[in-house]
Structure 1
C-alpha cells in the first residue's frame, strides 16, 4: 500500500526551461546551444554543470549563481514553470489520503520559491537545505523521514533513472519513472527505468495507479 508519494522537482513538477535559459542569457550564448550541451554531457554520464564549463572553462557554478542573484537575475519560479498536470495530480493524491512531499536536488532558494507556490503538498525540502543530494543514500533516508511512512510504503517519482529510480529502490522505496523532459525520454528504455515499479507518461496516470493499488 502506498501511504506517501515523494516527488522530484526538475522535469517532474517544473520545466527546466527557465533555469537553462537564464544561464544561457547570463553566459551570452544562444539558448539552443546550452540546451544541446546539457543533453550531450548528461548523455555521457557527466554532471550537467559541465555544460556550463564547456562554455566558460573553470566556471564556479555556485559563485556564478551568487553573482546572478546580485545582478537581479537569480533563481525565479512561478505558476508558468509548473507542468499542467501538477496541481490537479497533487490535489488528487491528497484527496486519496496519501501524504504528498517534494524532495529534489535544488537550492535552498528553490525550496523557498516552491513553498511560495502554495502547492497542495504536505512538505517541501531540497538538497540545498539538507546538505545532501541525490543519488546519495542520505538524501533518500531524509526523504523517507519527510514522508513519515515505512520505506516500502513510500513511492518516489522522478524522471532520472540513475538519480531517482535506482537509489530510491536501493533505499527500499517503491518507484515510478516519469517519461518527461530530456532525460526522462533519453533513458526511458534503460535498465534502471525498466526496473521501476511503474513507468508513466504523466502524473495523472500515476494517480490512477495509486488509486487502483
Structure 2
C-alpha cells in the first residue's frame, strides 16, 4: 500500500531529525573534521544520499547544528513579573536548557574552538540577529530596572557567566554541581534561594565536590 503524503512528510522529517542528531553526537565526540558523512549516516541508520537531500552537504549540516543551538537558546521561556523574578527566570531557564540540550552544547563547544567554523557562527548570528537583539534588550531592561549603572555590560557579563556554566557542565558532566552553580549565580545577583530544584535528573552532589572529565564519560554510558 502506498504511503500517504502525510506519512511521506513524517518520514522525511524523521530522517532529517536522526541525521541532525547523529551529526550533533559525532561533532561533539570528534569535531567537524573528524566526523565523516558516512559515519554520520551510519549512526543515523539512513542512506548517505539523504544528507544531500535534506541539507545539501556537510557545511550546510554544520550550519543546521549551529542553528539548532541558537533555536534552543531562544526557546527559553520568559517569566513575567518584577525585574528580579524575570532575572531569576532567565538564570533557571538557561541552566535547565543546558541540562536538556547537553549533546548540542558539547558539539557547539567543540566547534567554537575550530577556526574553520568561525565563519559559520558569524553567518548564524546574522540569521538570528533580530532574535538576539530582542533577547539582549530584554535582559538589559531588567538590569536597567534594577538600577544598574551599565546595563549593556551587565547583560554581557551575565551571558558570559551562564556560558561558562554551559561549557563546564558539558566537560565535567555529573561531577559538575549544576544545581549549586544555579544557586551561586542567584546569590551573585542578590536573588532569593529557589524553592524547588531544577527539573533535571542530576547526580547528588558530593560535599567534597571535585570536577572531573570522567563525570561526562560516565554520563554517556
Whether TM exceeds 0.5 here: the answer is: no
**When you count helix as a share of all residues, which structure comes out higher?**
2
Q: TM-score, normalised by structure 1?
A: 0.29
TM-score norm. by structure 2 comes to 0.28
Higher-strand-fraction structure: 1
Specify which structure has the bigger relative contact order, considering alpha-carbon pairs within 8 angstroms and separated by 6 or more residues: 1
